[in-house]
Structure 1
Amino acid sequence: MNVDRDWEKLGLYARQLTITDETINTRTCYSNDYLPEHPHATFPPLDGAYISELKAS
């Protein structure tokens, strides 16, 4: 899971992009509450082959 430090970095980055300002408390607007316990993807994992390699063969 993400740690407080990561949320602090995200808050600083949002301020640098002028999306938020110093009045926003990053601890209250970012949360892990909505993340799934186990991530799920509907596509198979990458096998290490690159498109350029596939075209060359």
Structure 2
Amino acid sequence: MAKIGLKHRPTFRENYFVPALVDGAIELLYPDHPKHPKQRYRLTEVAKEWKNLNMNI
């Protein structure tokens, strides 16, 4: 949220986070344990490729 300048958590979740999760751009670090105490999200390989192709645009 901080990197894109948003402070309103519901707006971030609705407009950015959930769509990225549904589209498969991000994934859970511990997919079998959604409430894991060290749960994080990471870019999928598809998102990493897109990022690398679009870094210079």
TM bucket (normalised to shorter chain) is: 0.3 to 0.5
Instruction: Name the TM-score, length of structure 2 as normaliser.
Output: 0.33
Choose between structure 1 and 2: higher strand proportion: 2
Task: Point out the structure with max Rg over C-alpha.
Answer: 1
Instruction: Name the TM-score, length of structure 1 as normaliser.
Output: 0.33
